[in-house]
């Protein structure tokens, strides 16, 4: 047995521990720093993932391997800039916030994508998805019950530092739960209950931005799934039912928000009606101050992770934050990263949707790729108003992105008809797939 394969079970265990820990950054402190256990697990996963780089280059399809390499190269350059900024930053240690946000990429993408290329790899990736679902439901239940540090007034942070961070986590969990729900042949009622619970957790967070992002993202996923099914002429009744129930679900979500969090509902309706909510005014002021600081230090910024005086810990906008803290080089790198991610999203969604008839892709991988794509999109959108790629939520960007690249790689394997891809899917979820023999005798994987 090779050293890579010997390390694989250990790596899987630590990845699962990492997924569990990211939902409780406030409860996993070391020396008073939020999320310290997650950071240590990420560093460990990144270290033992070194053996996955060779496998990534050899066994993963060229497009996915190139995209993963480009993303990690960009993340590595951001780390270098952040470390250099410690030389002139007012609080050098805060630069490590930006470093750790990128470390999650090195901890997850090489390992998860390389695992997806192995026999039975889809089953392992499926465990990571299950862990994300379980932890999102557990976190939502804790928030709903108001246990421990998750007590609710009109906003709840759960075991995150801020309610916005909890909102990002909940909005990242919704599409994954929805994707698992639509492909499941068993436990659908349970999964539907999980979806409702996570939605309630999002409402309890009181984050207006993330409520809109989460509910809109949920609608986007079901719209993509409807197109996917319509192209393949599958489940016409389900498509019609979805079109009828979608506006009802939106109304129900707004009613739940109004009932459980009247303040958030009032502020949201004020914003949607064209009024000026206090949070929008404060963000506009933060953006103006941050842009002025970036213009004052255009080539190096004020230093990675530096707060805006005593006003706010970050700029509440991804691009403005990187311009303020790392100057033009920093914002250029984050623009490149976002463009790479958008290429990844388009490259996953469009081929999945336009496949004709009975696609050679497996239904499980197709639908989960759509769900992971919406998760990544939710995070990017939320970070234009919220967390600015903070280390407490960065994992909710990197893990869905790693899952997306992994599912895209498995799609490529099955499309190419490789034995490994077919074996992976047979072993991963036999009740979700079947092999058909048309009259010509050729097998079609669906």
Q: What pLDDT does residue 435 have?
A: 35
When divided into structural domains, the chain yields a total of 1
Domain that holds residue 134: 3-445
164 or 243, which is more confident: 164
Q: What pLDDT does residue 80 have?
A: 95
Q: What pLDDT does residue 405 have?
A: 93
Q: What pLDDT does residue 216 have?
A: 87
How far is Cα 175 from Cα 379, in angstroms, rounded to an integer?
12
Tens of pLDDT along 166-200?
A: 889 999 889 999 999 888 878 888 998 999 899 88
Tens of pLDDT along 131-173?
A: 999 999 999 998 888 765 555 556 777 788 888 888 899 998 8
**Poorest-pLDDT segment among 291-305, 348-362, 366-380:** 348-362
Q: What pLDDT does residue 85 have?
A: 93
> What does the pLDDT average to over 371-394?
88
Helix, strand, or coil here: 445?
A: strand
C-beta of residue 347 within 8 angstroms of C-beta of residue 322: no
Instruction: Enter the DSSP assignment of 390.
Output: -
Tokens in use for 334? 């984050």
Instruction: Enter the DSSP assignment of 444.
Output: E
**Poorest-pLDDT segment among 32-41, 228-237, 368-377, 425-434:** 425-434
**Poorest-pLDDT segment among 28-37, 198-207, 322-331, 415-424:** 415-424
- 42 Cβ neighbours under 8 A, 6+ residues apart: 18, 100, 103, 104, 106, 107, 395
Q: What pLDDT does residue 104 have?
A: 93
Tokens in use for 238? 């389900």
- 208 Cβ neighbours under 8 A, 6+ residues apart: 264, 267, 268, 271, 277, 279
Tens of pLDDT along 72-106?
A: 999 999 999 999 999 999 889 888 888 989 999 99
Residue bearing tokens 């999964």: 191
Q: Using the predicted structure, report yes or no on whether residue 438 has a pLDDT greater than 60.
A: no
- Whole-number mean pLDDT of the chain? 79
Q: What pLDDT does residue 254 have?
A: 65
CA distances from 259 to 15, 203, 243, 255 (A): 38, 10, 25, 6
pLDDT band at 32 (very low <50, low <70, confident <90, very high): very low
Q: Using the predicted structure, report yes or no on whether residue 253 has a pLDDT greater than 50.
A: yes
Residue bearing tokens 């000026």: 276
> Which of 24-38, 41-55, 173-187 is predicted most confidently?
173-187
Q: Using the predicted structure, report yes or no on whether residue 4 has a pLDDT greater than 80.
A: no
How far is Cα 258 from Cα 69, in angstroms, rounded to an integer?
45
Q: What pLDDT does residue 322 have?
A: 93
CA distances from 168 to 23, 45, 165, 206, 375 (A): 11, 23, 5, 11, 10
**Poorest-pLDDT segment among 64-73, 224-233, 275-284:** 275-284
> What does the pLDDT average to over 26-30?
61
Tokens in use for 341? 């991610």
Taking the CA atoms of 408, 334, 97 and 215 in sequence, report the sign of the dihedral they define. negative
CA atoms within 13 A on the CB side of 285: 10
Tokens in use for 215? 């509910």
How far is Cα 303 from Cα 126, in angstroms, rounded to an integer?
39
Q: What pLDDT does residue 436 have?
A: 35
């Amino acid at each position: 047995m090779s050293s890579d394969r010997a390390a694989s079970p250990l790596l899987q265990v630590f990845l699962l521990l990492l997924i569990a820990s990211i939902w409780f950054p406030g409860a996993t402190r070391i020396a008073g720093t939020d999320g310290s256990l997650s950071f240590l697990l990420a560093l460990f996963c990144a270290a033992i993932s070194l053996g996955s780089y060779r496998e990534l280059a050899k066994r993963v399809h060229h497009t996915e391997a190139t995209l993963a390499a480009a993303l990690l190269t960009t993340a590595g350059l951001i780390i270098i800039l952040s470390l250099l900024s410690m030389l002139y930053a007012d609080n050098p240690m805060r630069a490590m916030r930006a470093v750790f946000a990128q470390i999650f990429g090195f901890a997850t993408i090489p390992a998860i994508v390389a695992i997806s290329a192995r026999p039975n790899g889809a089953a392992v990736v499926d465990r990571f998805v299950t862990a994300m679902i379980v932890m999102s439901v557990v976190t939502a239940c804790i928030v709903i019950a108001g246990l421990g540090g998750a007590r609710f007034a009109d906003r709840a942070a759960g075991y995150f530092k801020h309610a916005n961070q909890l909102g990002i986590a909940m909005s990242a969990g919704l599409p994954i739960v929805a994707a698992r729900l639509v492909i499941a042949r068993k436990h659908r009622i349970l999964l539907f209950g999980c979806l409702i619970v996570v939605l309630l957790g999002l409402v309890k967070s009181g984050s207006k931005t993330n409520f809109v992002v989460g509910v809109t993202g949920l609608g986007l996923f079901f719209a993509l799934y409807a197109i996917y099914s319509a192209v393949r002429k599958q489940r016409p009744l389900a498509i019609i039912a979805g079109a009828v129930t979608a506006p009802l679900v939106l109304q129900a979500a707004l009613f739940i928000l109004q009932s459980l969090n009247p303040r958030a509902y009032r502020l949201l309706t004020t914003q949607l009606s064209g009024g000026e909510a206090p949070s929008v005014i404060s963000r506009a002021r933060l953006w103006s101050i941050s842009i002025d600081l970036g213009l004052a230090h255009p080539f190096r910024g004020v230093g990675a992770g530096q707060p805006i005086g005593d006003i706010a810990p970050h700029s509440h906008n991804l691009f403005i934050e990187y311009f303020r803290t790392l100057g033009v080089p920093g914002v250029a790198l984050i623009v490149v990263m976002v463009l790479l991610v958008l290429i990844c999203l388009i490259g996953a969604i469009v081929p999945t949707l336009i496949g004709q008839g009975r696609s050679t892709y497996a239904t499980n991988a197709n639908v989960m790729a759509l769900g992971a794509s919406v998760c990544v999109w939710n995070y990017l959108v939320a970070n234009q108003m919220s967390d600015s790629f903070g280390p407490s939520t960065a994992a909710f960007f990197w893990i869905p992105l790693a899952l997306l690249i992994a599912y895209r790689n498995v799609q490529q394997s099955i499309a190419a008809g490789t034995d490994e891809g077919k074996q992976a899917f047979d072993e991963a979820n036999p009740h979700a797939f079947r092999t058909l023999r048309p009259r010509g005798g050729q097998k079609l994987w669906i």
